[in-house]
């Protein structure tokens, strides 16, 4: 047994930051060869976690959470974690311990709009102990688990449940992952409603300069300069399929008097457009231009000046440890004028994390989506029930 596989099989598979997915570390290794090596190693680990009991149904579970009160996603002793809370809720639902395998790990304070995991459940009759019943419908699993989750802090919720084959692995079957990072720019103190939800940058941010810097970083590179100490990935080479900065409306957002009047006028002039919301109208305009004319004088008593909200979006099949937050740290420095695009290129080529800007805080980071090529859910459930 290889050292990598032995390490992965000892205890919980989620104990390591990342199993060895790239067997070769040459920089000239092609994407096709790299993916082939990854698939071989992932398949070896996937077989070990495959359920051999035909009465056990494997479910893929999507869930969202506010990461502020979690000590990360990975299970830890004497700490409140995402996996720990989920396992506790599932245990209360089915009456026996379960193991949760997450698709993506997040640090303390990091949020998730949609993370995912898989879990194996054997439905045992509570009236007749030992009698095995047909698997639960996914909708039943979702409602039951949420019932117990809401009795806790109410900061985590299951959003979707699917039946998947017994060899499906939430982590290794993921095709890509999308992260968002929210920055709020402006000298005004951060709103209570945005506390621990974004990175407050008092300086004005140059959106165009940040977008230019993204062009340097997107694509396939050696990201050693954006790899924190403790990263267990064998290769620093990663492919960023997307890296961009977008200015959006700040959230929570409520329409002003002028906006409500404009919406009412549009509805009266164009009855067929009545369903068009205020947000639809103003998202098509430039948010910075919309917010800029507002001055302290005409805001009115008790009204706050809105921050500019910039969102960094990054998408890849996999990321290095703290890679996204290090990327955002550099982009923020470009936005404030502390770094130029040429200096970003120098940092990338330096291939050492000491060359990068300070890492962005966890509070602004959101795991947005984990993408899969899912099998037909009905076929999986029917096959499981008939076996």
Catalytic residue IDs: 107
How far is 91 from 94, CA to CA, in rounded Å? Answer: 5
Bridge partners for 57 per DSSP: 121
Nearest CA among 132, 131, 105 for reference residue 117 = 105
Neighbours of 210 (CB within 10 A): 25
List the structure tokens of 307: 């921050």
What count of Cα atoms within 13 Å lies in the side-chain half-sphere of residue 185? 22
How far is 227 from 319, CA to CA, in rounded Å? Answer: 9
How far is 257 from 205, CA to CA, in rounded Å? Answer: 28
List the structure tokens of 175: 């095709």
Q: Which residues contact 252 (CB under 8 A, 6 or more apart)?
A: 193
Query: Dihedral through CA 256, CA 262, CA 267, CA 268, nearest 10?
Result: 130
Residue with tokens 């959006």: 248
List the structure tokens of 14: 């989620």
How far is 254 from 266, CA to CA, in rounded Å? Answer: 18
Own/partner long-range contacts of 266-273 (Cβ < 8 Å, ≥24 apart):
none
């Amino acid at each position: 047994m290889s050292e990598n596989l032995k390490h992965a099989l000892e205890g919980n598979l989620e104990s390591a930051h990342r199993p060895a997915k790239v067997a070769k570390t040459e920089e000239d290794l092609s994407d096709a060869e790299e993916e082939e090596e990854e698939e071989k190693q992932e398949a070896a680990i996937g077989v070990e976690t495959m359920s051999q009991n035909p009465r056990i149904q494997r479910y893929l579970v999507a869930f969202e959470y506010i990461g502020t009160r979690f000590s990360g996603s990975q299970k830890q002793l004497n700490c409140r974690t995402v996996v720990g809370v989920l396992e506790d809720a599932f245990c209360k639902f089915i009456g026996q311990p379960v193991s949760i395998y997450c698709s993506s790990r997040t640090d303390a304070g990091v949020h998730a709009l949609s993370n995912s995991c898989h879990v194996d459940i054997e439905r045992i009759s509570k009236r007749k102990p030992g009698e095995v019943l047909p698997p639960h419908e996914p909708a039943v699993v979702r409602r039951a688990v949420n019932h117990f989750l809401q009795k806790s802090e109410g900061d985590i919720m299951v959003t979707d449940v699917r039946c998947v084959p017994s060899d499906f692995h939430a982590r290794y079957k993921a095709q890509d992952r999308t992260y968002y990072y929210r920055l709020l720019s402006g000298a005004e103190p951060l709103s209570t409603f945005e506390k621990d939800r974004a990175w407050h940058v008092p300086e004005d941010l140059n959106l165009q300069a940040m977008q230019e810097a993204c062009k340097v970083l997107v694509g396939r590179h050696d990201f050693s300069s954006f790899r924190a100490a403790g990263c267990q990935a064998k290769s620093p080479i990663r492919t960023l399929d997307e890296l961009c900065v977008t200015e959006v409306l700040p959230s929570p957002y409520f329409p002003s008097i002028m906006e409500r009047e404009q919406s009412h006028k549009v509805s009266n002039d164009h009855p067929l457009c009545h369903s068009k919301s205020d947000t639809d109208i103003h998202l098509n305009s430039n948010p910075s231009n919309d917010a800029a004319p507002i001055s302290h004088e005409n805001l009115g008593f008790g009204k706050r000046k809105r921050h500019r909200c910039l969102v960094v979006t990054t998408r890849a099949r996999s990321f290095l440890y703290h890679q996204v937050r290090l990327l955002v740290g550099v982009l923020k420095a470009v936005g404030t004028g502390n770094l130029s695009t040429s200096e970003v290129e120098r940092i990338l080529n330096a291939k050492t994390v000491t060359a990068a800007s300070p890492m962005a805080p966890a509070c602004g980071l959101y795991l947005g989506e984990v993408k899969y090529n899912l099998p037909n859910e009905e076929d999986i459930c029917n096959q499981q029930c008939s076996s």
